[in-house]
Amino acid sequence: MDRKHYVLVHGACHGAWCWYKVKPRLESAGHKVTVIDLAASGINMKKIEEVDTISQYSEPLLQLMASIPSNKKVILVGHSLGGLNISLAMDKFPEKFNSIPAADWLDAEFLPCGNKKSIVFGPKFLVTKLYQLSPAEDHELAKALMRTGSLFVEDMIQQKNMFKQGYGLVPRVFIICTEDLTITLKFQLWMIQNAGINEVIEMKGADHMPMLCKPQELSDSLLQIATKYAN
């Protein structure tokens, strides 16, 4: 079997921990899986106050990609805000990728944090918008492990358009989550239309956290993507 290397990248306020159901499934299929904590996320020692730009936030991912030999390729999987991090990595290291699958605020709080705004997901937002179809045990896990994050909007406004740079050289697959109440279906379709996506896979009945509510289906989709795009 041709062994693939998956790199799984979490979204805002989360960490490598959120992939705990998908990682062993991909590994049991014979593949290598790397999960990382971005800056000020998971068990990364930085604080969000020390991270001002999307590049600084992405530093652990960029360091990982720089360490991968030039003759090796990975399948990079970005969840939610993680799509920005993997876009930056694609732009810097387009030759190292096989393919890229990308996946009402209530009591979420946006707070001043230096020259940017931080974000904190409240328990009501967590249960009703992010994890509404995920197991209750995962709600509790998230409440215990989530950290303050940022969308880095102020920095992203100043970023160059990546679609004609290295980003545009990498095949991209978008996995739609039909019951995502955070990034709505309408907005997902807008992103697909504007991001030069090569293929779309639909996961029916998946909320914003498919790795938790539909881990086997997500794993199967990632294996399908590898079979088609990772040569």
Residues that are catalytic = 80, 180, 208
Neighbours of 63 (CB within 10 A): 10
Degrees (nearest 5) of the Cα angle 213, 217, 221?
Answer: 130
Distances (CA, A) of 108 to 119, 127, 130, 183: 7, 11, 11, 14
Q: CA 94, 200, 208 angle in degrees (round to 5)?
A: 95
- Give the C-alpha separation, 36 to 158, whole Å: 26
Residue of 11, 1, 10, 31 lying closest to 220 (CA atoms):
31
Determine whether 179 is exposed, middle or buried from the number of CB atoms within 10 Å of its CB (0-12, 13-18, 19+): middle
Side chain identity at residue 129, one-letter code: K
| Rounded Cα distance, 59 and 78, in Å | 15
Instruction: Sort 187 into a burial class: Cβ within 10 Å, 0-12 / 13-18 / 19+.
Output: exposed
